[in-house]
Amino acid sequence: MEIVLRPIGVIHSPFTEKGRTPIQASRSQAVGLVDVDPEFADGLKDIEGFSHIYLLYAFHQSNGYNLRVKPFLDDREHGLFATRYPRRPNPLGISIVRLVSRRENALTVEGIDVLDGTPLLDIKPYVPDFDHRADVRVGWYETRSKT
Amino acid sequence: MEIVLRPIGVIHSPFTEKGRTPIQASRSQAVGLVDVDPEFADGLKDIEGFSHIYLLYAFHQSNGYNLRVKPFLDDREHGLFATRYPRRPNPLGISIVRLVSRRENALTVEGIDVLDGTPLLDIKPYVPDFDHRADVRVGWYETRSKT
């Protein structure tokens, strides 16, 4: 079974080198431009009501994967699916960014953490009632995510 | 440009009909089984340290899309990307579920909201430090998401 996706736009960011891209959107204040293809612009109606959106995208410069990785935030090896490491069997990324403004089919966003030119696959509104969980355990990130 | 994905497993749930599937994982207490293909089992190392995980999957029973939709929670029309509606140009879904237990390559999860047989594309740990946003505006959901 194959699932074939086509980008709906492209994400522009200040980051042109993998090694200089922020580790997570929550640690970035960088501004990016989400350039949605004009044919999908109508699907953006009402999005300006949301302060935060999910971007779903392809890690387009990521080739192959290993099932055990040393993530950026740790020096120990973990299972790939217990990390947010970009080299994955399906190179899908998600970031939550702040929606600053919309001009027709272009969204200015803050807190971007992807490479310039990243293919955009989907946009979804961030809704805490759906997306926020309390009483969370974060495994090996416990001692690492604040560093 | 095409991005070709191959499922890494399958999600089993009690839901066999689209009309009877919960609207969001946060509203579901249903238990599901995430059956990761054995070849990827090694990538699950350390995942049991996390209480919550993202499932990324394909809306496999969703065909086509409209750019304006009346979502389940409203009787007004909105732009597709301002909704979580399943019929999308790229039929990608994300759900945050509680990880109850792991047995080799099978994860028992709570709060599942997908159809039985949904193709699994990726698993990522849910880390509030990355994934939680405060001071959020939720547009048209403001009056609808609590109902």
Task: For chains A and B, count residue pairs whose Cβ atoms are closer than 8 Å.
Answer: 247
Mean of the per-residue pLDDT values for chain A?
Answer: 92
- Percentage of residues of chain A with pLDDT beyond 90: 72
| Average pLDDT of every residue of chain B | 92
Enumerate residues 96 to 125 of chain A having a beta carbon within 8 A of any beta carbon in chain B: 96, 98, 119, 121-125
Which among A7, A91, A140 has the least Cβ separation from residue B49?
Answer: A140
Does B77 score more than 70 pLDDT?
A: yes
- Taking 90 as the threshold, does the pLDDT of residue A19 lie above it? no
| pLDDT tens digits, B79-123 | 999 999 999 999 999 999 999 999 999 999 999 999 999 999 999
What ipTM was assigned to the predicted interfaces of this complex? 0.93
A124 contacts B84? CB cut-off 8 A: yes
Say how far apart CA B83 and CA B75 lie, in whole Å.
Answer: 13
Q: Are B3 and A58 in contact (CB under 8 A)?
A: yes
Q: Which of B129, B119, B57 is nearest to A96 (CA)?
A: B129
Task: Provide the strand spans (E) within A37-79.
Answer: 52-58, 68-69, 78-79
d(CA B24, CA B47): 23
CB atoms within 10 A of CB B117: 13
Tell me the pLDDT tens digit for each residue of A104-144. Answer: 999 999 999 999 999 999 999 999 888 889 889 999 988 77
Q: Give Cα separations from B120 to A9, A106, B67, B76, B128 (angstroms).
A: 24, 31, 25, 31, 22
Burial class (CB in 10 A: 0-12, 13-18, 19+), B102: middle
Number of other residues whose CB lies within 10 A of the CB of residue A147:
7
Q: Which alpha helices (H) appear in A1-147, and where do they start and end? A: 128-131
